[in-house]
Amino acid sequence: MKKVLITGALGQIGTDLSEALVERLGTDNVISCYHRKKPEVMDGSRGLYEHLDVTKPGELDALMEKYQPDTIVHMASLLSATAEKKPLMAWDINMNGLIQVLEAGRKYNALVLNPSSIAVFGPDSPKDNTPQDTILRPTSIYGVTKVAGELLSDYYFTKYQVDTRGLRYPGLISYKTLPGGGTTDYAVDIYFQAIQKGCYTCYLKEDTSIDMMYMPDAIKATIDLMDADPSTLKHRNAFNVSAMAFTPAEIAASIKKFMPDFTINYEIDPERQSIADSWPNSIDDTAAREEWGWKNDFDLDAMTKDMLENLKKILK
Ligand code: AKB
């Protein structure tokens, strides 16, 4: 990995990832692409900026010709809750975007990292410690696009030898960028509201367990997988990666350890609850640990401490 092009670079993962890659590779070797016009936040700390609608044939090719990156990280995607409201748009962005990226990987001989999600699992998958290789029959359109994306990435590896790799990200928590339109967004919002209001109204039931990860671990997993020796990878598309699993009641209890007056109540959103209920309670990431040495640094309390410390600086 010497020069990386990131799609969706100003989104939740892209923001942290572009900064981490600029630190490693330098400004000129990170091309941060997004579908909106150049925002003020692009000050060089996130690399070079290019406008890109990844679903439009030709746009990505022009950037591949211009910069000749050896790696594409494809973060542009519609998340689960928005996708459920706009299924056709979700298919367009998540699938037509991916095929353009895979074609670019094939034509320009670039490694392609295509993010997947715990949304590939569905009600028929084992609920606890969900294995790497198991039934993938998701019931959300987002999950359908993620399973199709994993298969398409495998196809490009087998048929065209494109070096495709992927991670099944759990819910991700960061203080830098708010997520948009995900089912797991509550686990970010709760920290912001804790600092700003001292209380939070949660749209998921108190006992809904979902796998989650703090963003520094997600960035480490992404870079480690990109750097991994290809000969050690048996799974490729895509690896379960886990750091912690918790319920709304458990994250609230963790916040209370640092802010004893914090309170939580519940107003359930049936659509997001139903998506969450179709996902695992926790997942097994043995394959990632064995094949490329994945190891998380943060558990729930370590993440809560770091989130609250950083948000206090940002929000006050
Ligand atoms: C979402 O909630 O849609 C995402 C995901 C788990 O992929 N955070």
For the chain, which residues make up each domain, given as ranges?
4-170+214-240, 173-212+244-315
Summarised one tens digit per residue, pLDDT across range 228-247 is: 999 999 999 999 999 999 99
> What is the DSSP code (8-state) at residue 298?
-
| pLDDT over 70 percentage in the chain | 98
Instruction: Look at residue 1 and tell me whether its pLDDT is greater than 80.
Output: no
Q: Are 181 and 79 in contact (CB under 8 A)?
A: yes
Q: What's the pLDDT tens digit per position in 75-97?
A: 999 999 999 999 999 999 999 99
Structure confidence by residue, pLDDT tens digits, 52-70: 999 998 999 999 999 999 9
Q: Is residue 119 lining ligand 1, measured as CB closer than 6 Å?
A: yes
pLDDT, the chain, mean:
95
pLDDT number for residue 40? 67
Find out whether the beta carbon of 29 lies less than 6 Å from any atom of ligand 1.
Answer: no
- For residue 68, the model assigns a pLDDT of 97
Mutate to test the pocket of ligand 1, among 82, 117, 212 (most ligand atoms within 8 A of CB): 117
pLDDT at residue 130 tops 70 = yes
Number of Cα atoms under 13 Å in the Cβ half of residue 212: 27
Determine contact, residues 166/148, Cβ cutoff 8 Å: no
What pLDDT is attached to residue 35? 87
Strands 210-214 vs 244-246: parallel, antiparallel or unpaired: antiparallel
Q: How far is the C-alpha of 136 from the C-alpha of 147, rounded, in Å?
A: 7
Q: Compute the average pLDDT of residues 262-269.
A: 98
**pLDDT for the residue numbered 179:** 75
CA 267-271-274 angle, 5° bins: 95
Give me the count of residues in the chain: 316
Please report the pLDDT score of residue 293 as a whole number. 96
Q: What is the pLDDT of residues 203-214, one digit of tens each?
A: 999 999 999 999
Q: pLDDT band for position 41 (50/70/90)?
A: low
Is the CB of 183 within 6 Å of ligand 1? yes
DSSP line for 74-132: E-----HHHHHH-HHHHHIIIIIHHHHHHHHHHHHT-EEE--EEGGG--TTS-SSSB-S
Per residue in 184-198, pLDDT (tens digit) is 999 999 999 999 999
Residue 135 is predicted with a pLDDT of 97
pLDDT surpassing 70 at residue 38: no
Per-residue pLDDT at 312 exceeds 90: yes
* Exposed/middle/buried for residue 310 (C-beta within 10 Å: 0-12, 13-18, 19+): middle
Q: Is 142 a catalytic residue?
A: yes
187 lines ligand 1 (CB under 6 A): no
- Cβ–ligand 1 distance for 278 under 6 Å, the answer no
Mean pLDDT of 214-234: 96
| Architecture label for domain 173-212+244-315 | Alpha-Beta Complex (3.90)
Expressed in angstroms and rounded, the spacing between residue 276 Cα and the centre of ligand 1 is 9
Q: What would the pLDDT profile of 141-156 be if each residue is shown by its tens digit?
A: 999 999 999 999 999 9
pLDDT reading at 275 higher than 80: yes
Q: How confident is the model at residue 46 (pLDDT cuts 50, 70, 90)?
A: confident
pLDDT value of position 44:
74
Is it the case that residue 74 has pLDDT exceeding 70? yes
Atom 7, ligand 1: which residue's CA is nearest? 117
Q: Which of 114, 147, 172 most suits a substitution to test ligand 1, by most atoms within 8 Å of the C-beta?
A: 172
Query: Which atom of ligand 1 has the smallest separation from the CA of 80?
Result: 3
What's the whole-number mean pLDDT along residues 164-172?
98
Q: What is the CATH number of domain 4-170+214-240?
A: 3.40.50.720
Tell me, using a 6 A CB cutoff, whether residue 145 lines ligand 1.
no
Specify the residue for token string 């600029």: 22
pLDDT over 90 percentage in the chain = 92
Q: Give the nearest ligand 1 atom to 179 CA.
A: 8
pLDDT beyond 90 at 311: yes
| Stated pTM of the model | 0.95
